[in-house]
Amino acid sequence: PGNPEGTCQRRGHTGKCPKQEHVFDLVCSILCYFPHELYTFQDLLFCFSVIDVSSGDPHKNGIKPLSFIRQVLAVCLYPELLKEEGLSLDVRLRTQMLLKACDGGSVGSYTASSGLPHVRQSIADFISRRDAGVSSCAEHVFISTGSQVALKLLASGEGEAQTGVLTPIPCPHTLPTLMDIYGVKLVPYQLKEELDWAVDVHELHQVLTTARRHCQPRSIYISNPGNPTGHVQDRKSIEEVIQFAAAEGLLLLVDEVFQDCVYGQDREFISYKKVLFEMDKQYSETVQLISFHSLSSACIGECGLRAGYMETVNLDPEVLHFIDTLLCTDINTPVTGQLALDVMVNPPKPGDLSYDTYTQEILLSQATLSHNAQRAWEFLNGLPGMSCQPAMGGIYLYPRLHLPPEIIEQYKHSKTAILTFADVYGSTPGQKRRVPKDEVFSRKSHKTIVFHFESC
C-alpha cells in the first residue's frame, strides 16, 4: 500500500520483492506498509523460518517420557528383562499381568478389533473412578488408533441428505480434513472469544436452523478442554449443550483428551458423561454420547504409540455391533499403545515402589505446561498488535493478530500469497495458533519477537 511500484523501501533492501518466493512477497508488502524499523531486511531473511508450534507433540519439545510407562513397555517387549534383579516389583507385576492379557504372552500377537479385554476393563474402571462412581461398561469402550475415529460411524450421504456435524471454530486442525475424507459436512459454529471461548447455545440454534436447509445435521462436536483455545467448560455450560442436543436429537461427540491438564484458576475438568448422569432421566437415559481420550494427551504425551479410546453412552446395541464390525476393517491398534493406555488409566498407587517417581513426573509435566501457558500468555499480550485470552487447560494458546484493514484487504485480493491469515478452518480473521513449550520457549519466543517487529 502506498508503493505502486511494488518495491520494498525498508533499510537494506531497495529492489523488487522476490516474486519467486511468494512468502517473501507478502512479507515485503507488510514491511512496506509499516514505517517502524528495528532490523534490516537481511535480518528478516536470516530469521525467517517455520517454527513448528502446532503439532502438539510434548516429547518432541522437551517433555520427558514417564519412567514407569517406558519400563513396563521395555520389559513387555523383551521379557528376558524380568530376570534383572534391579527391576522394581510393581514393574515386574504389571508386566506379567499385561503379558498374560496378550495372546501367546507376546506383544506380537493380534488383538480383538475393539482392543484387549483387560485394557478395556481398566479403562472402564478408570472412568467410573473419575466420574465418582458413575457406572462404565467395558463393552462400551473401544480402543482405536485415534480419538476421532467415531467420525467414521456417521453415514455420509450427498446433497441435502449429507450428514452434518456442528463443529466449533476454532477446532482441531485435522478435523476438517477428516470430515472431508469421510464425506461429512462441517457445519461451523463460532466460539465466543470475548467470553473465554464460551459455547453460545443461541448461536447453536441459529446455525442448526440454517444448516438443515442444505444437509442433515446429526451430531455436535465439542472439545473440552478446548483445542486449540484452552477453554474449560463449567457444569452450567455442559448442561446447556446437553439440553440442546436432547432437544434437537443430536449425537454428542466430545473430545476430552486434555482432561488431565487443567490449570485455570477456579477451573476443574468435569466430564460430559458425569454431568449427563446427574441430570434428569429425560436426559441421562436418552442423550447419545461418544467421548474420547488419548495416550497423546498432555501429561502422558506418547503420541507415537498411537492409541486412544472412545466410550459410548445410550447407543443402541446394534450400533455397538456396527462399531465393532467397522473397527475390524482397520489395522488393530498397536499392542504397545494399548498396554501404555492401561498404565495411563491405572497408574501406580500409593505404596507401590514407583508411585513417588510417577507422581513427581506427572506433577512436573503439569507444572511445566501451566508455567509455560502463563509465560506465553504474558509474552503474546505484550506484543504490539496481538491479544490473547488466558488458557485454562490443554497445551495451546490462541492469540488474535490485529492486522490493519489494508493488509487484510490486500491478502483477500492477492493471487500469489500462500500465508493464510483468515480463510482456514480453526481460525477467525487475524488469528493464528500457538502452543507453549518448555526448554525451547525462550528461543522460539525470541524468533517470534524478531519476526513480529519486522512486520509491525
For the chain, list the domains and their CATH numbers.
117-345 (3.40.640.10)
Model confidence band, residue 332 (pLDDT cutoffs 50, 70, 90): confident
At 251, which helix (H) or strand (E)? strand 251-255
Query: Which residues contact residue 26 at a Cβ distance below 8 angstroms, ignoring those fewer than 6 apart?
Result: 411, 414, 416, 417, 418, 419
pLDDT of 174-219, one tens digit each? 889 888 888 889 999 999 999 999 999 999 999 999 999 999 999 9
Phi first, then psi, for residue 113 (nearest 5°) are: -60, -30
Treating both helix axes as pointing N-terminal to C-terminal, what angle do 335-345 and 89-101 enclose, rounded to 10 degrees? 130
More confident residue, 11 or 241: 241
Integer CA distances (angstroms), 432 to 54, 176, 228, in order: 10, 16, 10
Whole-structure pTM value? 0.81
Cα–Cα distance measured from residue 196 to residue 229, given in angstroms and rounded to the nearest whole number: 9
pLDDT value for 301: 86
Cα–Cα distance measured from residue 275 to residue 284, given in angstroms and rounded to the nearest whole number: 9
CB 218 within 8 A of CB 165: yes
CA atoms within 13 A of residue 16's CA, in its CB half-sphere: 6
pLDDT value for 181: 85
Closest of 441, 420, 440 to residue 430, by C-alpha: 420
pLDDT(412) > 90:
no
Model confidence band, residue 296 (pLDDT cutoffs 50, 70, 90): confident
pLDDT of 53-108, one tens digit each? 667 788 887 788 999 999 999 999 999 999 998 899 999 999 999 999 999 999 99
CB atoms within 10 A of CB 423: 9
Cα–Cα distance measured from residue 447 to residue 399, given in angstroms and rounded to the nearest whole number: 17
pLDDT of 259-277, one tens digit each? 998 988 888 999 999 999 9
pLDDT value for 3: 43
Among the residue ranges 287-291, 302-306, 326-330, the one predicted with the least confidence is 326-330
Cα–Cα distance measured from residue 452 to residue 290, given in angstroms and rounded to the nearest whole number: 41
Closest of 290, 301, 292 to residue 337, by C-alpha: 301
DSSP string, 79-113: GGGGG-TTS-HHHHHHHHHHHHHSGGG-TTS---T
Phi first, then psi, for residue 210 (nearest 5°) are: -65, -40
N- to C-terminal Cα separation, the chain: 14
Closest of 124, 96, 123 to residue 344, by C-alpha: 123
- Mean pLDDT, the chain, integer: 82
More confident residue, 368 or 199: 199
User: Is 50 buried (19+), middle (13-18) or exposed (0-12) by CB count in 10 A?
Assistant: exposed
At 76, which helix (H) or strand (E)? helix 67-77
pLDDT value for 440: 58
Model confidence band, residue 156 (pLDDT cutoffs 50, 70, 90): low
pLDDT(14) > 80:
no
CB 244 within 8 A of CB 204: yes
pLDDT(147) > 90:
no
Section 282-287 average pLDDT? 97
Integer CA distances (angstroms), 123 to 52, 63, 270, 331, 379, in order: 32, 24, 17, 21, 39
More confident residue, 426 or 381: 381
pLDDT value for 165: 94
CA atoms within 13 A of residue 17's CA, in its CB half-sphere: 23
pLDDT value for 269: 96
pLDDT(322) > 60:
yes
Model confidence band, residue 13 (pLDDT cutoffs 50, 70, 90): very low
Closest of 233, 377, 251 to residue 310, by C-alpha: 251
Model confidence band, residue 346 (pLDDT cutoffs 50, 70, 90): very high
Model confidence band, residue 368 (pLDDT cutoffs 50, 70, 90): confident
pLDDT value for 210: 96
pLDDT(141) > 80:
yes
pLDDT(280) > 90:
yes
pLDDT value for 33: 47
At 186, which helix (H) or strand (E)? strand 185-190
What is the SS3 assignment for 310?
strand
pLDDT(45) > 80:
no
Beta-bridge mates of residue 187: 166
pLDDT value for 53: 65
| Amino acid making up residue 282 | Q
More confident residue, 124 or 112: 124
Compute the radius of gyration of the chain from its Cα atoms. Answer: 24
